[in-house]
């Protein structure tokens, strides 16, 4: 071993003292604290909670083994196993399944931590006997790696550990390591890309030769960047370097794709071209474990470049994404622009990673915010808005919040985190436990269960709960000598000593000394309670309540705020939906008779007058903004924002418009020009084949095609060839919206041969359009400039108001005005 390598190994062996050092610092500081706000948990209560977490694990484990094994997952409500190709398909969600007993493999090392050597040995024998990988099944490369490869490697390492330390399992001869190697080879074809970044999916038997994978292009940053720990361990344990080489190459390719100005990464990219498909940048879904594996690759392997890369990204995240305790996605190329107004539950891992990297204060802050979200909604929802309302209501029993709670407790010794863990445990017992395991919650608002228990519930959620309530002396192994993978599998730090003869730790010229440095947090105010205290009412303080005696103004009014709705109702104002409810249009009526008091009625009248003025101002501002945006963007066509407009229903004169973007290669709609026609979907939807199956039905109509598999201009030429009058290209990225993402103009190939208008529509806008098409199969739409649509609408409303006013005056003159009519209507 070289002196450089020896030095690196020595550094790695010092790392287990990190958490102990942090604990020592905080313990010294806490002696100076005037108060200890969190009640200390007794040894007895902690032991009881440890045993309760053990019982929770076995309740779920036995339910799986008795009712589901050898299936990949347990369906806790049906009390049976979920098999790929047998159980009803859930679409892309089923890519995690490979009919390889995933839950058992994922759970093996938890049995060792619990000290259940007999059941571990029995389970290992079952895996060796029953699990095989030669299946014609397409699986997720990311999920198969972290759950299966990681599970097999961890179990192999612990089996050999028990042979030496507990004098058991002498029959074991490395069978699980060979299984991990076989599975690794079956994943390798996914890495045969132009960039070296792996495909998202692969066929276990056919590799990338499966016809369904022929057009595979896109993957997420986390999917491609969460391979190295398992593949490096596999190479070093087997002596086969190919796995580690491919994983390092993928990480290097990802690093080169960062935005050089912001040092941020996007979330979805093309594995062949390296182009970003989604440029949202945050720390949640789609990108989370990429950051985790940068730091842990440095810890496990001793390669300083991963520490440098982590620090560059970390500084960028804290500069652009971090908003106090919140973490809000931005655009990697425009980091001061927020890309969405909600946070997802996967970001709950971030405080734990901050603890490991030594940045405690923001870890405490973000964890406190997450804890308040849990207290507000009982369970942490899958996503919540910036004002902490529910965005997606599911709760899948995810481990990330408990994981961060565990690491914060290990680093601080603050019993607050034991109390947080206790609350999380009791909540799972009350709301997720069923007779056959633990069931995910479909909506935290209703508590309705979902027939789903992911393997990570056993491999991570219950593991971290057990570790939280355990003292080091309670455990058979010293966890400080291991790195936890993103699936909480254990890989020993001693792997660094094995080395990889084909991989060289060369210092890259792209890093400088500043990339290896970060200021340690000030220790004089490190005690967590001092950090948490200012945030104690962070969430409740962000949800405004109407104060008695203070009038609610139209400018402050939020239709999603229950208190605001109650306040306007007390003012005598009622709201009636107009047209399609999905469009969110309402009409306001005010009457003194319905007001709670005369004073409230007068407030209501003032509110209506303000709303009238506000509506006029918004209409004029929209026109002005559209004109400014159109004229100032030199790189885009003049009609930068396009409207796809249609009547709300067949009888109504009300029209609605959805936002769309133009193209550089199609003619512009200038002034009052528009294209109108019936809308028809392409078959196949992506419109990349030479011939469309419904070509005869398209002539004279507006064609809709989905983004992907071929270029925008190719779709346009095909649409033009079959006689379409215009083309709408809808996005293939779920959840994208023109309201939260910048509109862009589609580019062509330099040829000027497209003669029909072509526009681009994000997926949320297209969802509304497709819903209208379902209600009215022969829906007609008009494509025009958005600014012209707004002018047209304002002119119509002005004409309608004039007509209504004239009719009202005539009725008043004739003495036929109805006596019971709202005093004011908007």
| Beta strand segments in 591-701, E | 642-647, 655-660, 674-681
Q: What per-residue string of b and e applies to 95-126 under the rule 16 or more CB within 10 Å gives b?
A: bbbbbbbbbbbbbbbbbbbbebbebbbebbeb
pLDDT surpasses 70 at 554: yes
Q: 670, 676, 734: which is closest to 706 by C-alpha?
A: 734
Are 656 and 579 in contact by the 8 Å Cβ rule? The answer is: yes
Q: From CA 682, how far away is CA 686, in angstroms rounded?
A: 7
Q: From CA 536, how far away is CA 524, in angstroms rounded?
A: 21
pLDDT at position 613, please?
A: 66
Higher local confidence (pLDDT), 710 or 580: 710
pLDDT digits (tens, 9 = 90+) for 528-543: 777 777 777 777 655 4
Q: 403, 394, 401: which is closest to 451 by C-alpha?
A: 394
| Beta strand segments in 689-799, E | 702-706, 726-730, 758-761, 780-785
Which residue in 218, 288, 303, 515 is the catalytic one? 288
pLDDT at position 816, please?
A: 52
List the alpha helices (DSSP H) in 131-213.
141-143, 150-165, 175-187
Q: Would you report the helix, strand and coil content of the chain in percent, each value rounded to 5? A: 50, 15, 35
pLDDT at position 593, please?
A: 61
| Cβ neighbours for 637, distance < 8 A, ≥ 6 positions apart | 662, 663, 664, 668, 745
28 φ/ψ angles, rounded to the nearest 5 degrees: -60, -45
Topology of domain 43-497, per CATH? Glycosyltransferase (1.50.10)
51 is catalytic: no
288 is catalytic: yes
Phi-psi region of 162 (alpha: psi -120 to 50; beta: other; left: phi over 0): alpha
Reduce the secondary structure of 516-578 to three states and give it as a string: HCCCCCCHHHCCHHHHHHHHCCHHHHHCCCCCCCCCCCCCCCCCCCHHHHHHHHHCCEEEEEC
Tokens found for residue 207: 């590799």
Strand partners, 611: none
Tokens found for residue 485: 């993978």
Phi-psi region of 167 (alpha: psi -120 to 50; beta: other; left: phi over 0): left
672 is catalytic: no
Are 387 and 542 in contact by the 8 Å Cβ rule? The answer is: yes
Strand partners, 705: 729
Residues annotated within a binding site for Ca(2+): 486
pLDDT at position 516, please?
A: 59
Q: 792, 798, 787: which is closest to 621 by C-alpha?
A: 787
pLDDT digits (tens, 9 = 90+) for 741-767: 767 678 777 777 889 999 999 988 899
pLDDT digits (tens, 9 = 90+) for 578-591: 554 444 556 777 77
pLDDT at position 657, please?
A: 86
pLDDT band at 518 (very low <50, low <70, confident <90, very high): low
Q: From CA 655, how far away is CA 673, in angstroms rounded?
A: 17
Mean pLDDT of 134-154: 97
Q: Which residue has the tokens 């000394």?
A: 513
Tokens found for residue 64: 């799986």
pLDDT at position 28, please?
A: 34
pLDDT at position 262, please?
A: 96
Tokens found for residue 563: 């208190």
For the ranges 29-38, 707-716, 799-808, which has the lowest average pLDDT?
29-38
Which residue in 73, 143, 414, 765 is the catalytic one? 143
pLDDT at position 805, please?
A: 58
Long-range CB contacts (within 8 A, 24+) of 627-632: 627/787, 630/787
Q: From CA 262, how far away is CA 498, in angstroms rounded?
A: 37
Higher local confidence (pLDDT), 79 or 496: 79
pLDDT at position 505, please?
A: 44
Are 677 and 702 in contact by the 8 Å Cβ rule? The answer is: yes
Could you tell me whether strands 433-434 and 390-392 are parallel, antiparallel, or unpaired per DSSP bridges?
Answer: unpaired
pLDDT surpasses 80 at 423: yes
Q: Which residue has the tokens 């400018």?
A: 555
Tokens found for residue 160: 């050999």
Higher local confidence (pLDDT), 155 or 654: 155
Higher local confidence (pLDDT), 576 or 629: 576
Reduce the secondary structure of 762-792 to three states and give it as a string: CHHHHHHHHHHHHHCCCCEEEEEEHHHHHHH
pLDDT at position 794, please?
A: 73
pLDDT surpasses 50 at 440: yes
Q: 586, 716, 709: which is closest to 663 by C-alpha?
A: 716
For the chain, give the number of residues: 826
Mean pLDDT of 479-500: 92
pLDDT surpasses 90 at 459: yes
Are 115 and 489 in contact by the 8 Å Cβ rule? The answer is: no
CATH 1.50.10.10 residue ranges in the chain? Answer: 43-497
Phi-psi region of 616 (alpha: psi -120 to 50; beta: other; left: phi over 0): alpha
For the ranges 152-161, 348-357, 598-607, 611-620, which has the lowest average pLDDT?
611-620
Count of CA atoms in the C-beta half-sphere (13 A) of 791: 11
pLDDT cut 90: percent of the chain above it: 57
Tokens found for residue 597: 């008091």
pLDDT surpasses 90 at 810: no
Tokens found for residue 181: 């190697």
For the ranges 638-652, 666-680, 725-739, which has the lowest average pLDDT?
638-652
CA distances from 482 to 7, 111, 157, 491, 748 (A): 19, 16, 11, 5, 52
pLDDT at position 822, please?
A: 44
pLDDT surpasses 50 at 690: yes
pLDDT digits (tens, 9 = 90+) for 267-314: 999 999 999 999 999 999 999 999 999 999 999 999 999 999 999 999
Q: From CA 219, how far away is CA 201, in angstroms rounded?
A: 9
Higher local confidence (pLDDT), 815 or 94: 94
Q: Coil, strand, or helix at residue 820? A: coil
Q: From CA 408, how far away is CA 426, in angstroms rounded?
A: 20
Count of CA atoms in the C-beta half-sphere (13 A) of 715: 30
Instruction: Compute the Cα dihedral for 181, 185, 190, 192 and give only its sign.
Output: positive
Q: Coil, strand, or helix at residue 800? A: helix
Start-to-end CA distance of the chain, whole Å, equals 80
Q: From CA 310, how far away is CA 331, in angstroms rounded?
A: 19
Are 757 and 783 in contact by the 8 Å Cβ rule? The answer is: yes
pLDDT surpasses 80 at 175: yes
Q: From CA 160, how far away is CA 180, in angstroms rounded?
A: 15
Question: How much is the mean pLDDT over the chain?
Answer: 84
Q: Which residue has the tokens 């964890």?
A: 367
Tokens found for residue 147: 């759950």
| Cβ neighbours for 505, distance < 8 A, ≥ 6 positions apart | 4, 5, 8, 302, 303, 304
pTM check: above 0.85: no
pLDDT surpasses 90 at 37: no
pLDDT digits (tens, 9 = 90+) for 182-240: 999 999 999 999 999 999 999 999 999 999 999 889 999 999 999 999 999 999 999 99
pLDDT at position 798, please?
A: 66
Assigned architecture for domain 642-798: 3-Layer(bba) Sandwich (3.50)
Which residue in 95, 210, 368, 382 is the catalytic one? 382
Which residue in 280, 400, 414, 570 is the catalytic one? 400
pLDDT at position 545, please?
A: 36
Mean pLDDT of 511-522: 53
Mean pLDDT of 711-737: 89
Round the CA-based radius of gyration of the chain to a whole number and report it.
30
For the ranges 134-148, 392-406, 512-526, 776-790, which has the lowest average pLDDT?
512-526
Q: Which residue has the tokens 């397409």?
A: 138
Mean pLDDT of 72-92: 95
Residues annotated within a binding site: 486
Q: From CA 644, how far away is CA 69, in angstroms rounded?
A: 52
CATH 3.50.30.30 residue ranges in the chain? Answer: 642-798
Could you tell me whether strands 702-706 and 726-730 are parallel, antiparallel, or unpaired per DSSP bridges?
Answer: parallel
pLDDT band at 602 (very low <50, low <70, confident <90, very high): confident
Tokens found for residue 186: 């079956």
Mean pLDDT of 123-142: 97
Mean pLDDT of 774-787: 86
């Amino acid at each position: 071993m070289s002196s450089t390598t020896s030095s690196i190994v020595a550094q790695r062996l010092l790392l287990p003292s990190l958490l102990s050092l942090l604990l020592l610092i905080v313990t010294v500081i806490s002696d100076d604290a005037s108060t200890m706000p969190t009640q200390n948990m007794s040894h007895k209560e902690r032991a009881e909670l440890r045993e309760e977490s053990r019982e929770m694990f076995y309740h779920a484990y036995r339910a799986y083994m008795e009712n589901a094994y050898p299936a990949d997952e347990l369906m806790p409500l049906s009390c049976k196993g979920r098999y790929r190709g047998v159980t009803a398909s859930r679409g892309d969600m089923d890519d995690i399944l490979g009919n390889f007993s995933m839950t058992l493999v994922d759970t093996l090392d938890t049995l060792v931590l619990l000290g259940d050597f007999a059941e571990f040995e029995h389970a290992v024998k079952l895996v060796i006997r029953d699990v095989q990988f030669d299946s014609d099944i397409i699986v997720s490369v990311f999920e198969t790696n972290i759950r299966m490869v990681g599970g097999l490697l961890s179990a192999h390492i612990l089996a050999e550990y028990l042979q030496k330390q507990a004098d058991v399992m002498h029959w074991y001869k490395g069978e699980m390591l060979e299984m991990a190697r076989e599975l690794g080879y079956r994943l390798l074809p996914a890495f045969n890309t132009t960039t070296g970044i792996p495909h998202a999916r692969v066929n276990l038997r056919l590799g990338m030769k499966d016809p369904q994978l022929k057009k595979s292009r896109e993957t997420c940053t986390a999917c491609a960047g969460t391979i190295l720990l398992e593949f490096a361990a596999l190479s070093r344990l087997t002596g086969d370097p190919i796995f580690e080489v491919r994983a390092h190459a993928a990480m290097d390719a990802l690093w080169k794709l960062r935005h050089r100005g912001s040092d941020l990464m996007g979330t979805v990219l093309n594995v062949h071209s390296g182009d970003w498909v989604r440029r949202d940048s945050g720390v949640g879904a789609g990108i989370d474990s990429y950051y985790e594996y940068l730091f842990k690759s440095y810890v496990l392997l001793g390669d300083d470049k991963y520490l440098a890369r982590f620090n560059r990204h970390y500084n960028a995240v804290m500069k652009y994404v971090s908003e106090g305790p919140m973490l809000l996605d931005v655009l990697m190329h425009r980091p001061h622009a927020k890309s969405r107004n909600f946070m997802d539950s996967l970001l709950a891992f971030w405080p734990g990673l901050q603890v490991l990297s030594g940045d405690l204060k923001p870890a405490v802050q973000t964890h406190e915010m997450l804890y308040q979200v849990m207290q507000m909604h009982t369970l942490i929802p899958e996503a919540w808005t910036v004002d902490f309302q529910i965005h997606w209501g599911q709760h899948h029993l995810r481990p990330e919040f408990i994981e961060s709670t565990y690491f914060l407790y290990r680093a601080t010794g603050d019993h607050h985190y034991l109390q947080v863990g206790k609350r999380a445990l009791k909540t799972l017992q009350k709301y997720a436990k069923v007779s056959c395991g633990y069931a995910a919650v479909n909506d935290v608002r209703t508590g309705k269960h979902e027939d789903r228990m992911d393997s990570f519930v056993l491999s991570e959620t219950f593991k971290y709960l057990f570790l939280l309530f355990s003292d080091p002396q309670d455990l058979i192994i010293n966890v400080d000598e291991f790195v936890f993978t993103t699936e909480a599998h254990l890989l020993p730090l001693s792997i660094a000593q094995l080395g990889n003869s084909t991989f060289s730790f060369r210092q890259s010229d792209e890093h400088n000394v500043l990339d290896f440095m970060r200021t340690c947090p000030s220790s004089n105010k490190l005690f967590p309670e001092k950090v948490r205290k200012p945030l104690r009412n962070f969430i409740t303080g962000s949800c405004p309540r109407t104060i008695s005696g203070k009038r609610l103004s139209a400018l402050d009014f939020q239709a999603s705020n229950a208190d605001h709705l109650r306040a306007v109702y007390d003012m005598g104002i009622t709201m009636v939906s107009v047209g399609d409810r999905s469009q969110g249009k309402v009409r306001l009526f005010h009457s003194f008779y319905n007001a709670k008091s005369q004073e409230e009625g007068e407030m209501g009248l003032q509110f209506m007058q303000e709303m009238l003025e506000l509506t006029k101002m918004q209409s004029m501002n929209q026109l002005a903004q559209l004109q400014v945006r159109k004229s100032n963007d030199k790189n885009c066509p003049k009609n930068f924002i396009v409207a796809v407009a249609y009547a709300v229903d067949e009888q109504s004169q009300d029209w609605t418009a959805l936002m769309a973007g133009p193209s550089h290669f199609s003619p512009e709609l200038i002034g009052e020009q528009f294209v109108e026609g019936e809308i028809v979907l392409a078959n196949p939807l992506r419109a990349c084949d030479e011939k469309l199956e419904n070509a005869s039905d398209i002539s004279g109509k507006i064609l809709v095609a989905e983004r992907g598999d071929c270029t925008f201009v190719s779709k346009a030429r095909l649409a033009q060839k079959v006689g379409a009058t215009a083309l709408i290209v809808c996005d293939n990225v779920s959840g994208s919206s023109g309201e939260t993402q910048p509109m862009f103009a589609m580019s062509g190939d330099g040829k000027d041969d497209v003669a029909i208008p072509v526009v681009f529509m994000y997926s949320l806008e297209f969802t509304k359009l497709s819903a209208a098409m379902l209600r009215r199969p022969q829906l007609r739409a008009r494509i025009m400039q958005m600014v012209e649509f707004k002018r047209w609408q304002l002119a119509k409303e002005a004409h309608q108001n004039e007509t209504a006013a004239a009719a009202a005056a005539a009725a008043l003159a004739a003495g036929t005005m109805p006596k019971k009519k709202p005093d004011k209507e908007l």
